[in-house]
Amino acid sequence: MDRTGLSELLQRACRREPAALTELIERYSPRVFGLLYRLTRSRDAAEDLLQETFLRVVRTIDRYEHVGRFEAWLFRIAANLARDRARQRARRGDMTPVDVSWADERDQPADHDLVRATDPLERVVQREAREQLLAALGRLSEPEREIVLLRHYSELSFREIAELLGVPLGTALARAHRALKHLRAHLADEV
């Protein structure tokens, strides 16, 4: 959707038109859910937080000022909710295991793989590559996982992500660089 279209959609959402709110949900749910699922490593938690994210949006949409990017506002809400949940779990000493395997059968191949998915052997290779990537992501620290997943799902620039996280751009970039370096090392271990 181009910026003009989004601007009109947000104006209608600010006027609380149900169809506009539904359209926002349809449009952004996949990416928001993707982020929440990969951050929480729990489908149930991601579903709850997805609902809470959009409830917060609807409660404050009429005060939203479209000066920045809507995605920055939306993903800030989602990331904060995920972080709050992680803190609550830590405070409670919640040792409930997260989904051991991130590879959910409902997961769809990445766009990158869809093009080459015809050969059975290729599909096996792709599946293994996905599982290795997910395992390697699971070994990152929470802040490192958060920043690379935010970049991946929100499609915001690192400057916008730095603002969202309340850190300087240099810190955000350094954290992402460190995260990807660790990710590469873990991937090498997984092979």
Partner 1 sequence: MQRELGKLEQIVEREMGLLRRLPCAVPDEPCLARVRAAVLAENQRLVRRRRLLRISRTVAGAAAAVLLAVSLRLPAGLHSADPEAILGEWAVAWDASRTRVAHLLDEGWRGEETDDRVDDEAAIDDLFQSLSQTLDRFEDL
List contacts with partner 1 (CB under 8 A): 16, 18, 21-22, 25-26, 29-30, 33-34, 37-38, 43, 46-47, 50-51, 54-55, 57-59, 103-104, 106-113, 126, 129-130, 133-134, 137, 148, 151-152, 158, 169-170, 173-174, 176-177, 180-181, 183-184, 187
- Residue 173 Cβ vs partner 1, minimum distance, rounded to whole Å: 5
* Smaller CB separation from partner 1, 29 or 90: 29
- Residue 7 Cβ vs partner 1, minimum distance, rounded to whole Å: 20
- Residue 59 Cβ vs partner 1, minimum distance, rounded to whole Å: 7
Per the CB < 8 A criterion, the answer to whether 54 and 25 are in contact is: yes
What's the rounded Cα separation, in Å, for the pair 110 and 119? 16
- Residue 34 Cβ vs partner 1, minimum distance, rounded to whole Å: 5
* Smaller CB separation from partner 1, 90 or 110: 110
What's the rounded Cα separation, in Å, for the pair 20 and 185? 44
3-state SS assignment for residue 113: helix
Q: Tell me the residue type at 117.
A: A
What's the rounded Cα separation, in Å, for the pair 54 and 61? 10
Round to the nearest angstrom and report the end-to-end CA distance of the chain: 39
String of DSSP letters for 24-56? HHHHHHHHHHHHHHHHH--HHHHHHHHHHHHHH
* Smaller CB separation from partner 1, 42 or 76: 42
* Smaller CB separation from partner 1, 59 or 91: 59
